[in-house]
Every structure is written in structure tokens, then in C-alpha cells.
Chains A and B, each alone.
Chain A
Amino acid sequence: DQQVKQNSPSLSVQEGRISILNCDYTNSMFDYFLWYKKYPAEGPTFLISISSIKDKNEDGRFTVFLNKSAKHLSLHIVPSQPGDSAVYFCAASEIHNDMRFGAGTRLTVKP
């Protein structure tokens, strides 16, 4: 039973435009949400996080939005760059030592 779902396996956007990656979760006890980025043949790397007491967190071109009532979060990348092309994983944690991941969305940013 996947508690974290990323329903779009892939997304393609033009360089300079906005990329929006979506994630849904089922466990209302999750209190931390994270996004990881993964390049081929490498391990995932942490990108940005948000706690359940907030609804938005920004870090440069990356913004994560959390809608607790809808159990939905999204990652916005503005403007998108070709170097952003990677697989993005959404993750959620109820306690700090048990993090659940979604299946990932492959983002392609075209020049």
C-alpha cells in the first residue's frame, strides 16, 4: 500500500517555463515532506523540505507547496533549466526515522 503517490511518471517542459511536480499522500500523520532529485547512476540528493505547520517553503528557484486538507504537495521550479532534468522523488515522514517515497517523476527540460 503506497502511502506516497506520484501519479505522473514523466513531465516535459521548455527551458525558462515553470515545472510543476505533484505528490499525494494518504497518511494524515505525516509531518515532514521532502523532495529529492536523482541523476542516473547516482544516489538521490535532498532538494527541499516542508513541515506540516507550513504551507509554503522557498529556496531559490524551488518552491514546495503543501495542502494538508487535500493531502497534496507540489514542487514548482521557476525558471526551469536543462540541468534540472532528473527524476524527482517526493517523500514523507511521520517520525524522523521512517521516510516513505513516491515512485518518482522524470522531468525533462528542453532547451
Chain B
Amino acid sequence: NAGVTQTPKFRVLKTGQSMTLLCAQDMNHEYMYWYRQDPGMGLRLIHYSVGEGTTAKGEVPDGYNVSRLKKQNFLLGLESAAPSQTSVYFCASTAALSTEAFFGQGTRLTVV
């Protein structure tokens, strides 16, 4: 019973490097989200998707891109990492018209 799985769990990047975070869910959920968590800021929505092939910007989308090529996967890309992107990233999914989100374990990213 995996639920929402994020890979990798930890990563250290140098400024300017690129990387992709993968989120996979096995609950056949329509909606998927990427959040970042920073001290004193709570969880802030980066991008979200309401279905395969569709994405939308959240509160803090700058510096990130996403893709939802398959219903079960939602990818978050950093094209040129910056120290300000050091954070813990959470992926979540919900069924359509549901308010209950299921979260992954998080990815701790450090940009040096």
C-alpha cells in the first residue's frame, strides 16, 4: 500500500545544476500537487495538476517546471538551482472533488 512515493529523499545540488523530483501515486487520483515547506512559512503550493497533460501555477512557481505525462506521475524540475530553493518538497494527491490530500514523505533538497 504505497500511496504517494517521492524520489529521491535527499539531494545536494550545486548552484546552477538541474534536477528532477519524481512523484508517483497508486491511488488513481486526478489531482496532484507540489509544495515546498520552509521554516515559519508552512507549505506553499508550487504547481499543481488537475489531470494528465494539464498543469497550473501555484503561489511560488518561479524557478520550477512540472510535467504530468502519466496520470500516476508528477515531475518537478529545477532547471538552474539556486540557494533560495533549499527546502523540503512535498508531493500530494487528491481524488477529484475531495479535500483530503495524501502526501509523500518529502524530499530534502540543499543547494550550495
Contact = CB atoms under 8 A, between A and B. Distances in A.
Contacts of A99: 33, 45, 99, 101
Given A42-B105, A43-B4, A44-B90, A98 B99 contact: no
Interface residues of A, number: 26
A109 interface: no
B99 A93 contact: yes
B103 A45 contact: yes
Interface string A1-43: 0101010010000000000000000000000101010000111
A96 B40 contact: no
Contact of B48 (A4, A9, A43, A98): A98
B80 to A, nearest CB: 27
A89 B94 CA distance: 17
A34 B99 contact: yes
Nearest to A51: B99
Interface in B1-15: 4
Interface of B: 4, 31, 33, 35, 40-45, 48, 50, 56, 58-59, 90, 92, 94, 96-106
27 contacts: A6-B42, A34-B99, A34-B100, A36-B101, A41-B106, A42-B105, A43-B4, A43-B103, A43-B104, A43-B106, A44-B103, A46-B101, A46-B102, A49-B99, A49-B100, A93-B99, A96-B31, A96-B94, A96-B97, A97-B31, A97-B48, A97-B56, A98-B45, A99-B45, A101-B35, A102-B42, A104-B42
